[in-house]
Amino acid sequence: MQYNAPDEILDTDEDKLREECGVVGIYLNKKDQSAPFNAAKLAYYGLYSLQHRGQESAGIAVSDGEKIESHKAMGLVADVFTAEKLEELGGQIAVAHVLYSTSGAAHIENAQPFVNRFKLGGIAVAHNGNLVNYEQLKEFLEETGSTFVSTSDTEVIVKLIAKSYKKGLERALTDTIQMIKGSFALAVMTENSLIGARDPNGIRPLCLGKLDNGWILASESCAIDAVGGTLVRDIEPGEIVIINEDGVLSFEFGERTAKRTCIFEYVYFARPDSVIDNIPVQEARLRMGAVLARETPVPADVVIGVPDSGLGAAMGYAKASGIPYAMGIVKNKYIGRTFIAPTQSEREQMVFVKLNAMKSDVAGKRVVIIDDSIVRGTTCRRLIQILRKAGAKEVHFRVSSPPVKFPCYFGIDTPCRADLISSAHNTEEICKEIGADSLAFISIDGMFEALRDANERSYGYCKGCFTGEYPIPFPGELNGKRL
């Protein structure tokens, strides 16, 4: 079920693609523990650093080696957990989750991790991604006696693992992962182990880190840094790792397929200080900006970026073009994700509250403004209005990703194709619609070149939102999105 915000709520990033969620897993070694366990507190710090991946709910499940407890609620990480609650949870092992829902509505029933307790033991599952065969699997499970309390595809994963658990954890995980289709990065916990798994195409990211007294799994390496850990490596596509008192066991659960990491991790989703599949995110963005400057040069006096995800590409564009870089736009960092605004016109005006131009940087100047993407076109139109009001003589809009023409089916919340401005309009038409003096996008080949320059061993990306060519077959209609 696709979640759409009520009309009275304005999402201040409404013209952006959104990641579904972030996951964290913590395992603390018994033999290295001199003080009481508190995996929950480390999971909290990890979640806090992944807040950008989801702001609707947060949850942590822990195990003390004998039983699993959990706490989750709607809201931001800092609002959901108090110091007292983290002390109460404690735990030797933890899995944690922040949510932006693409499959299932934003209700507490869909908050993760999902916990299932049964005769042979318990499990807790945190999932980032989207299953394209969710409806078929849910129907199969209901026909065999399972009941569901949510509309989240993650609950299907929990039920499938539980159904095969008597075969042993490794077999249950393998059986489940071979049944689910789509994108997934999983952090799974039992009473005495932590498990990570990544889909065969590696669409959603997952990495492994070393702690002084244990291990950490996380969607991004910035979460490992946040708890004082050291990045060891990325979990490979089609790999399962089981972490317990014997160390880290790794095995593949199926035939190796072509790697297809979501390219928007580098364009927009990931924090700039993260490293994903051996590519530093900020380095990729700087190089995308440099390619953009080479492909679409324009005479100008200043280059600025849209805070925050456009800043890296803007710096790269400025350096490559020789045009001075300036702040140009100030973001009000104290504004939350949503406002209450009773009318459409008031909602549209809220961008002026969130962002404002630096007149001293842009007045009387030819301005190149860099953003990471154009989805509906509403935000860039308002940004151009802000710059012209501040006295910009010319505004040239540059985009560090190709035109987004198709929906995503693998864990990104994109509008249906009819609402994607690049799906129905060419570059000239969009330029006129947003009111820019010129508009240009990076080419697909140029974007891949930037990633190769950031790491010459880079390969394999999902580009479905640009070309309509997806790494996994999917139903013609999924979660209300039509081609």
In angstroms, the CA 319 to CA 329 distance is 19
Residues belonging to the binding site for Mg(2+) are 309, 371-372
Identify whether the C-beta of residue 355 lies closer than 8 Å to the C-beta of residue 386. Answer: yes
Identify whether the C-beta of residue 366 lies closer than 8 Å to the C-beta of residue 429. Answer: no
In angstroms, the CA 406 to CA 466 distance is 6
Which residues, in sequence order, are CB contacts of 445 under 8 Å at separation 6+? none
User: Residue 66, CB half-sphere, CA atoms under 13 Å: how many?
Assistant: 0
Tokens of 418: 């009819």
In angstroms, the CA 356 to CA 34 distance is 51
Which residues, in sequence order, are CB contacts of 306 under 8 Å at separation 6+? 314, 329, 355, 369, 370, 371, 372, 383
**What b/e string do you get for 65-100 counting C-beta neighbours within 10 Å, with b at 16 or more?**
eeebbbbbebebbeebbeeeebeebbbbbbbbbbbb
Which residues, in sequence order, are CB contacts of 91 under 8 Å at separation 6+? 37, 38, 39, 40, 62, 63, 64, 69
End-to-end CA, the chain: 17
Select which of 21, 207, 222, 380 is catalytic.
Answer: 21
State phi, psi for 251 to the nearest 5 degrees: -155, 160
Identify whether the C-beta of residue 128 lies closer than 8 Å to the C-beta of residue 23. Answer: yes
Q: Can you tell me whether residue 160 is helix, strand or coil?
A: helix
**What number of other Cβ atoms are within 10 A of residue 456's Cβ?**
8
Active site residue 21: yes
Tokens of 213: 């007294």
In angstroms, the CA 44 to CA 33 distance is 19
Identify whether the C-beta of residue 299 lies closer than 8 Å to the C-beta of residue 366. Answer: yes
Residues belonging to the binding site for [4Fe-4S] cluster are 262, 408, 462, 465
For residue 321, CA distances in Å to 360, 372, 439, 445 come to 21, 18, 16, 19
Which residues are known catalytic residues?
Answer: 21
